[in-house]
Copies of this chain bind each other. A is one copy, B any other.
Amino acid sequence: MLSERRLEVLRAIVQDYVGTEEPVGSKALTERHRLGVSPATVRNDMAALEDEGFIAQPHTSAGRIPTDKGYRLFVDKLAGVKPLSTPERRAIQNFLDGAVDLDDVVARTVRLLAQLTRQVAVVQYPSLTRSTVRHVELLSLAPARVMLVLITDTGRVEQRMIDCPAPVGENSLADLRARLNSRVVGRRFTDVPQLVQDLPESFEQDDRGTVSTVLATLLETLVEETEERLMIGGTANLTRFGHDFPLTIRPVLEALEEQVVLLKLLGEAKDSGMTVRIGHENAHEGLNSTSVVAVGYGSGDEAVAKLGVVGPTRMDYPGTMGAVRAVARYVGQILAES
Contacts and interface: CB of A to CB of B under 8 A. Distances in A.
Interface of A: 100-101, 134-135, 137, 139, 141, 147, 149, 151, 155, 157, 159-161, 224, 233-236, 238-239, 245-246, 249-250, 253-254, 256-257, 338
Contacts of A236: 250, 253-254, 256-257
B249 A239 contact: yes
Contacts of A147: 135, 151
Q: Most chain-B CB neighbours within 10 Å: which of A101, A160, A224?
A: A101
Contacts of A233: 257
A116 B254 CA distance: 16
Given A135-B139, A161-B338, A257 B239 contact: no
B134 A141 contact: yes
Contacts of A160: 100-101
Contacts of A257: 233-236
Q: How many copies does the complex hold?
A: 2
A70 to B, nearest CB: 27
Q: Which 8 A-B pairs have the closest CB atoms?
A: A236-B253, A236-B254, A239-B250, A157-B159, A235-B253, A137-B139, A236-B257, A135-B139
A298 B253 CA distance: 31
B224 A100 contact: yes
Contact of A141 (B100, B101, B135, B246): B135
Contacts of A245: 246
Contacts of A249: 239
A142 to B, nearest CB: 9
A138 to B, nearest CB: 10
Nearest to A220: B100
A193 to B, nearest CB: 19
Nearest to A249: B239
Contacts of A101: 159-161
A106 to B, nearest CB: 13
